[in-house]
Amino acid sequence: MAEHNIRFRILTHLIAAGAGGVLAFVLADKEPAKTPAPDEQIVQDPAPVVEVPKIPVIPVPSPPLDRAALLAAAASAADAAASGSALPQSNAALTGRSFVLRMPFGCRGEMADPKGADAKEKPSWAGWSFNPKSRALRLTAQASDLAETEWVKQLAGEMTFDAVEGFWLRRPWTRTEQCGADDLAPTDDMLDASQRRLAIAQFYSPEGSRTLRRGNRPYSSTVKLKENETPSSNGYQLQLEGKISGFPDGQPIHCSQASPSVAPRCVIAVQFERVAFVAPGKDEPIVEWR
């Protein structure tokens, strides 16, 4: 009996101890959250930083300079030469830019046969002829040699060169690249000295590339037209492409004025990269040189 009482007491203590532990756990679980003191800061975990990938900015190249842009720059340079002021910095920013220039020729029809009775003493700088029997269209253009021109030498300054080849721009007072009314007049297509006011030319250095250097050789080619194809009634165009190279002072255009009563003469210094014959309104070249 005594042993039974002892076991009962031990079991009673164990049950009491277990109940106390469960009660303590429940009370601890229900204990209200601690309120931080007024001067105590709550430190929160920083929000994750989401990195948005940057889209690369691809620089858009400037469009090639056209006839209008070249004429505007030449007019600014001529104005500076006439007024005795410094060349505009806006022109200097054009150095290194690409350009595309189309020059019309053969607007009055076929060039005269140099051996015929109607041959002129001075042939045109460019022209075309067509043989209806063989259907052969011949196109030709001759660059001007400016290396021995005294005023060009003065404009070149300290630039070293052994050749200067380029072309005079007809009708530099208009931006159009098509044949004009004066091109259709029955007059010689050769420009006289008074009309040679603006040239675009490359100064070839002794160690530079001579890919498009022509010397006395004209740009000339003969192509065969199809049976239903006729020569252009609006003449043809010589397309010049390249980059503005500029002079040693960083300016792309230099001008010279012999007299205050005469318009300045200017030269645009460039590097030719492509020369082509094209028909007006068409992009596909008839023939090209690179």
pLDDT reported for residue 118:
46
Burial of 91 (0-12, 13-18, 19+ CB in 10 A): buried
**In Å, what is the CA distance from 41 to each residue of 34, 35, 62, 67, 118?**
13, 11, 57, 71, 104
Structure tokens at 208: 């530079």
Q: Could you tell me if 126 and 106 are in contact, meaning their C-beta atoms sit under 8 angstroms apart?
A: yes
The domain locations on the chain are 67-104+144-218+239-279
Tell me how far apart the alpha carbons of residues 8 and 58 are, in angstroms, rounded to a whole number. 90
pLDDT reported for residue 187:
44
- Nearest CA to 145 among 125, 167, 161? 167
Tell me how far apart the alpha carbons of residues 24 and 18 are, in angstroms, rounded to a whole number. 10
Q: What is the pLDDT along the chain (290 residues), one digit of tens a residue?
A: 555 555 555 555 555 555 444 444 444 455 555 565 666 666 667 777 788 888 887 877 889 999 999 999 999 999 999 999 999 999 999 999 999 999 999 988 898 654 444 444 445 799 999 999 999 999 999 999 999 999 999 999 989 999 999 999 988 989 999 887 655 544 445 566 667 899 999 999 988 777 888 999 999 999 999 998 999 999 999 999 999 999 999 999 999 998 888 899 999 999 999 999 999 999 999 999 99
pLDDT reported for residue 24:
46
Tell me how far apart the alpha carbons of residues 23 and 29 are, in angstroms, rounded to a whole number. 10
